[in-house]
């Protein structure tokens, strides 16, 4: 199985400051269709997960542009340009290239 490793697992941030979460896969996520199926999800306290980013860098409709995704091969990053209070929660990366699909352990973002 593909292991998805996120770091850090806990991320205290100051409001208005940037934040960055790393996600590394144990093997390349390039699919036979040529695409990289790496997504990012946000789970706010008490809520269901919500997709933010798909195929590495495509932001979902309604997701603020302070969220951005990047990466290639086995290294991926989710960046928040300026953290707001509503960004508190747990963030997960997920690969959909190889069966079984797998998630990272999650990164908890909290306000300092």
**Helices and strands: H and E segment counts in the chain:** 0, 11
Instruction: Please report how close the Cβ of residue 111 comes to another protein at its closest, in angstroms.
Output: 21
**How many chain residues touch another protein (CB under 8 A)?**
27
Q: Residue 101 has what DSSP assignment? A: P
CA distances from 86 to 4, 83, 93 (A): 26, 8, 19
Asked if 39 interacts with another protein (CB under 8 A), we say yes
What sign has the CA pseudo-torsion 33, 35, 38, 40? Answer: negative
Assign 77 to helix, strand or coil: strand
Among 19, 23, 25, 41, indicate the residue that binds another protein (CB under 8 A): 41
CB nearer another protein, residue 16 or residue 86: 86
Asked if 54 interacts with another protein (CB under 8 A), we say yes
Contacts with 23 (C-beta within 8 Å, 6 or more apart), sequence order: 4, 5, 6, 38, 40, 71, 75, 76, 77, 78, 93, 104
Asked if 77 interacts with another protein (CB under 8 A), we say no
Instruction: Please report how close the Cβ of residue 52 comes to another protein at its closest, in angstroms.
Output: 11
Asked if 44 interacts with another protein (CB under 8 A), we say no
Binding site for another protein (CB under 8 A): 1, 31, 35, 37, 39, 41, 43, 48-51, 54-55, 60, 90, 92, 94, 96-97, 99-106
């Amino acid at each position: 199985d593909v292991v998805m490793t996120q770091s850090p697992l806990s991320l205290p941030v100051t409001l208005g400051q940037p934040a960055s979460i790393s996600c590394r896969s144990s093997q390349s996520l390039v699919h036979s269709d040529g695409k990289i199926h790496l997504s990012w999800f946000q789970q706010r306290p008490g809520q269901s997960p919500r997709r933010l980013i798909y195929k590495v860098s495509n932001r979902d409709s309604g997701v603020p542009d302070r969220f951005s995704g990047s990466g290639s091969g086995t290294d991926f990053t989710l960046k928040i340009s300026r953290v707001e209070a509503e960004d508190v929660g747990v963030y997960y990366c997920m690969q959909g290239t190889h069966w079984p699909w797998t998630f990272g352990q999650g990164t908890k973002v909290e306000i300092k």
